[in-house]
Amino acid sequence: TLATQKSTLLKEQIKETSSKLDALKKAQKEADNAIKNGTEISADKYRALEREISDTEAKIKTLKSELNTQLNFATTVDILFST
């Protein structure tokens, strides 16, 4: 069904976005370690990385909310048409 397809797509998007977030957080840890070891890192680049992490976390939250809504809708439709 269309609802199942949309749920599957949302799950894939959540997985991909979560992988991106993991990579961003890894990059942030590497940057933090570099700073601790005395390497100069542009404040603008570091802030951009922080913004991207924040944006990616927000996107995951939005996708999870959409998936929740989609699953609730699918459940409601199943109940309505099974009676």
Give the pLDDT confidence of 3-48 residue by residue, as tens digits. 789 999 999 999 999 999 999 999 999 999 999 999 999 999 999 9
Q: What is the pLDDT of residue 83?
A: 61
**Cα distance between residue 79 and residue 14, in whole Å:** 27
**Cα distance between residue 41 and residue 70, in whole Å:** 42
Task: Compute the average pLDDT of residues 50-59.
Answer: 98
Residues 6+ apart with CB under 8 A from 51: none
Task: Compute the average pLDDT of residues 60-73.
Answer: 93
Q: What is the pLDDT of residue 15?
A: 98
Quick check: 80 pLDDT over 80? no
Q: What is the pLDDT of residue 74?
A: 73
